[in-house]
């Protein structure tokens, strides 16, 4: 045992991801994580008091990584309609890429996310807030006509759910998907558009 090693939550989470990749969610244990780090399982429990808290932290880390590029788009400047479209397309792309690149880990993370309800709820709220920020910019720019920014942001999120919620991931390989996404985004952007003043 290498108990002299500096153990950080980040190192534990990295090791946990490796263990999940090797053993799968059903078989991975805290002891496996400790073994991968060459420490006692008590050392892991000092940072994460339970297996559930460790699994929640892994789910949060995964969702935060998916969120980072979206946050950048939401906080950027520029015309809101183009940003909203880019934000939505990027979100779809991130989710679709995770499924196609590593379907086993995607399934693992999906299960973890379902267990970590509060983590997922907070993640969705952050995403809706980012959309609301873009919509608010669009109203200020005169590009969007929206009376309730938060409700409209939630509606945009809900209207696009088929293209980003993992429950629909088996539909994402449909060759018609890009055309369907294009049609939906065109409709949403048209619906948000402020009337042109003559």
3-state secondary structure 29-40: CHHHHHHHHCCC
CA neighbours within 13 Å on the CB side: how many for 22?
A: 11
What residues does 193 pair with on adjacent strands? 144
Mean predicted confidence (pLDDT) in 159-172: 91
> Given pLDDT bands bounded at 50, 70 and 90, which one contains residue 103?
confident
Sign of the CA dihedral 149, 150, 153, 154? negative
The Cα–Cα gap between 168 and 170 comes to 6
Q: Is residue 23 scored above 90 in pLDDT?
A: no
Mind listing the domains of the chain with CATH numbers?
9-47 (1.10.10.60), 56-192 (1.10.357.10)
For the chain, what is the mean pLDDT?
A: 89
The position carrying tokens 């090797």 is 22
DSSP state of 25: T
> Given pLDDT bands bounded at 50, 70 and 90, which one contains residue 98?
confident
> Given pLDDT bands bounded at 50, 70 and 90, which one contains residue 16?
confident
């Amino acid at each position: 045992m290498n108990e002299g090693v500096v153990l950080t939550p980040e190192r534990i989470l990295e090791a946990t991801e490796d263990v999940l990749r090797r053993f799968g969610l059903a078989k991975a244990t805290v002891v496996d994580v400790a073994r991968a780090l060459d420490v006692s399982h008590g050392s892991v429990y000092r940072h994460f008091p339970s297996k559930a808290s460790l699994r929640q932290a892994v789910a949060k880390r995964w969702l935060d990584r998916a969120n980072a590029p979206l946050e950048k788009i939401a906080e950027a400047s520029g015309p809101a309609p183009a940003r909203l479209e880019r934000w939505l397309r990027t979100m779809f792309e991130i989710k679709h890429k995770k499924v196609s690149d590593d379907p086993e880990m995607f399934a693992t993370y999906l299960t973890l996310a379902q267990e970590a309800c509060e983590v997922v709820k907070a993640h969705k709220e952050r995403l809706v807030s980012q959309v609301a920020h873009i919509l608010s910019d669009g109203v200020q720019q005169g590009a969007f006509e929206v009376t309730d920014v938060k409700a409209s942001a939630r509606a945009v999120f809900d209207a696009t759910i088929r293209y980003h919620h993992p429950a629909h991931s088996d539909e994402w390989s449909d060759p018609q998907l890009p055309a369907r996404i294009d049609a939906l985004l065109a409709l949403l952007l048209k619906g948000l558009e402020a009337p042109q003043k003559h």
